[in-house]
Structure 1
Amino acid sequence: MVRVVFLHPDLGIGGAERLVVDAAVALRSRGCSVQIWTAHYDPQHCFSETLSPDLPVVCVGDWLPTSVFGYFHALCAYLRMIYLTIYLVLFSGEEFDVVFCDQVSACIPFLRLARQRKKVLFYCHFPDQLLTQRRSALKRLYRGPIDWFEELTTGMADRILVNSQFTAKVFKQTFPKLSEIHTDVLYPSLNSSAFDDEVEGLGGLLPEGRSFIYLSINRYERKKNLPLALQALANLKDRLSVGEWERVHLVMAGGYDERVVENVEHYEELRSLVTSLGLEDHVTFLRSFSDKQKLSLLHNSTCVLYTPSNEHFGIVPIESMYLRCPVIAVNSGGPLESVAHEETGFLCEPTPERFSEAMQNFVSDPKLKQRMGQAGRERVQQRFSMQAFTEQLYSHIASLTQ
């Protein structure tokens, strides 16, 4: 039996966390022993699978700061992961064969502290250094050593997987010293069993008579370009008759953590934008929704608005298409590989005009959702099934232990 430990910095409810949980569930189904080690875990803010005793979660180092007076987030994340790794290797007494780590590669050299060198699989969602802006010379000076260390430590992994062809290309551009290292693409999958549960109604979440429901699902972060969904809705209003507009509603559902200043600030920014656009009666905000609420929203929505540009992959379009909910996404990054334009949804320039044009199609042709929804379901089953994900991941793990 192969023993696999997952190392992840913060086991919340984002896309990266969804992949880690799915990977752990997949390997467990193939007879592997799995554990997830993390520096932060909140049973009230997690994926339901992690509550099962069959998927043990160990939290170490949560007492360490996540920032210093709102700064040095990356440095703190590195220190938390290094502490977590040292604790696992030197003090936990756990026996393991392979370590699956993602997001923060700083832990990899410290895994060599183990008595017998363990194999390391690193899953690159996207280079960390590209996830932050460097507007000042001081920020560039601060990030310089961290960026250097990211490239150095990532190259120490025994195997590197990426989540899309787009990320594979960006990986080689970002880490020129690693350009000769082979990276395999392992698309995030959908654990369809979690999406086949009985679907509940929206339970009075929306006003009566709203038959065209647009849904945005993303963390309340500025890089997700959530204002685009609101601006597109305002533009759509000008395209519709009064009667059509009265049947339209947008749900802004997002991952929200009160510990994260940006989540709190951006949520208020979005609410202010709704007021300035005069959309108060046509927008509902939903923070940190449950799995059942998510299923209900996807099942009852006309389509999903996926607004990030250059998203490395994005699991939301996959979840949406599986539940026969078409997707309107930006025509860059991962959605180019997941969404089939004019077949399972629309790929658009990130402007309110182009998004609202796509949104209007569903009002003009009420049967469009059904046609695109069925095509989306079939696309996910063919390309992003849990079975395909499991077999590919297990083959990588097994080859590392041979």
Structure 2
Amino acid sequence: MEPPIVLFVHPDLGIGGAERLVVDAALALKSRGCDVRMWTAHYDLKHCFSETKDSGIPIRCCGDWLPRSLMGRCHALCAYIRMIFLALYIVFLSGETFDVVFCDQVSACIPFFKWTRKPKKILFYCHFPDQLLTQRISALKRIYRTPIDWLEEKTTGMADCILVNSHFTANVFKQTFASLSHREIYVLYPSLNISKFECNVFEDLSNIVPMKRKHVFLSVNRYERKKNLDLALKAFCDLRDRLNMLEWEKVHLIIAGGYDERVKENVEHFQELHDLTAQLGIGDHVTFLRSFSDEQKLNLLYNCICVLYTPSNEHFGIVPIEAMYMRSPVIAVNSGGPLESVVNNVTGYLCQPQPHEFCDAMERFVKNPSLKITMGKAGHARVLETFSFEAFSTQIYHHICKLTQCK
């Protein structure tokens, strides 16, 4: 049997955890001989993963003229409309031929691949139920979300195979989508494309932090309020009160985050964090970075003494995996995906999302810098064992083959 043709359909091929997984999945299937194509509603060469530029995988964009929101509201509705338009274009106008559709984030496109003369097999990857990513603080918002939530559950259930990124997400999925509790859900951990992390030459951080700052803590996350970046700043402020003057002059914090000027929250939260840093009086010891390159990220992960991962109930979180592979320990909130990736007291520390608990863990690295070596080594070994690209590639290819054999 010839290798299957896999069509990836994704709402916005930018820089984020979901996009990272989609790109890795496409590369994994291509490495197995599959014919892979990618379609998206938005693709910007200035704001994307480098692999999308030189992988040889064709990427086509359609529907970017449709609005992303209506006067800053109705983001979910607009995302559904954009994906439905994209699906209709692919089915009726693109001339594409394919065996399997890999889609994620927005399930509204699924029916349009099923309701054709030749229905396609669908693999849906659920990063997290969309209806749990928004608040319903008014009656109007609840009314608005009711049909969208219903549509999400119904269209997700139309997929032939459903994958999730962690056991945590699998449990949330079944609790959220009651009508799908009988479905078999498979866990496919995001992987690390190790070839992109191989580097033998690293620069120091003297171009962004003073030379005397030997202990650099690093936070890597998008500038979104749900990422709880305030926690890193407040914990770092508490650390100042734990250290003597000489020790304090040796520490520094870098907040590095994905930043898109099109996203209002990115712009607002970046300024909020700057203001909080000034209020806490730690501005001289904090550096903010926006939308850095892959090479810069590797350099940051290599040189930092520890990575601070602050989101609560994160669906999975690829940053701890990247950090551990680069032999950087991780201090993370003890909920969600990090419970499955970070081994407490071995590859880092799992803490309550309280500044004093994060500060306790941070102080250990300052007082005992050798922890960076011992925990870093353990983290590197854990990634190779559990989150390798080879294991990821084998599993996703297996699921694709099962679908094509059932045709």
Scaled by the length of structure 2, the TM-score of the pair is 0.98
Match of 2:244 in 1: 241
Q: Is the 8 A contact 2:194 2:389 kept in 1?
A: yes
- Match of 2:324, as an amino acid? M
In 1: Cα distance, 2:196 partner to 2:374 partner: 24
Tell me which residue corresponds to 1:123: 125
The answer for the alignment partner of 2:28 in structure 1 is: 26
Aligned residue number for residue 352 of structure 2? 349
CA distance 1:108–1:375, shift in 2 (3 Å): same
Map residues 238-317 of structure 1 onto 2, 5 A cutoff.
Answer: 238-317=241-320
SS at match of 1:270: helix
CA distance in 1, matches of 2:162, 2:90: 21
Taking the aligned partners of 2:362 and 2:11, their CA distance within structure 1 comes to: 37
Distance in 1, matches of 2:65 and 2:280, equals 42
Aligned with residue 323 of structure 2, among 316, 320, 323? 320
The answer as to whether partners of 2:227 and 2:311 remain within 8 angstroms in 1 is: yes
The residue number in structure 1 matching 2:6 is 4
Q: Any unmatched runs of 5+ in structure 2?
A: none
Q: CA deviation at 1:55?
A: 1.6
- AA of the residue aligned to 2:214: S
Give, in whole Å, the separation in 2 of the partners of 1:91 and 1:294.
40
Following superposition, the deviation at residue 115 of structure 1 comes to 3.2
- Taking the aligned partners of 1:203 and 1:191, their CA distance within structure 2 comes to 28
Residue number in structure 2 paired with 1:66: 68
Deviations 1:84-118 (A, max 9, x none): 11111110001100000000000000112443111
1:97-246 correspondence to structure 2 within 5 Å: 97-201=99-203, 202=205, 204-246=207-249
SS at match of 2:239: helix
User: Which residue of structure 1 aligns with residue 389 of structure 2?
Assistant: 386
Determine helix, strand or coil for the equivalent of 2:373: helix
Q: Match of 1:364? A: 367
Q: Does 1:13 align with 2:15?
A: yes
Most deviating of 183-192 and 51-60: 51-60
CA separation in 1, counterparts of 2:273 and 2:115? 46
> SS at 2:297's partner residue?
helix
Aligned: 1:332 with 2:335: yes
- 1:333 deviates by 0.4
Which residue identity is paired with 2:273? L
Q: Quick check: 1:320–1:326 contact (8 Å CA) kept in 2? A: yes
Give the secondary-structure state (helix, strand or coil) at the position aligned to 1:99: strand
Q: Give the stretch that moved more between structures: 50-59 or 115-124.
A: 50-59
Q: Which runs of 4+ in 1 moved over 3 A?
A: none
Distance 1:333 1:199 in 2: 34
Paired letter, 1:366: P
Tell me the number of residue pairs that the alignment of Structure 1 and Structure 2 aligns: 402
Paired-residue identity, %: 66
- Give the TM-score of the pair, scaled to structure 1: 0.99
Q: 3-state DSSP class of the match of 2:137?
A: coil
Q: Which runs of 5+ in 1 are unaligned?
A: none
Question: Structure 2 counterpart of 1:400, which letter?
Answer: L
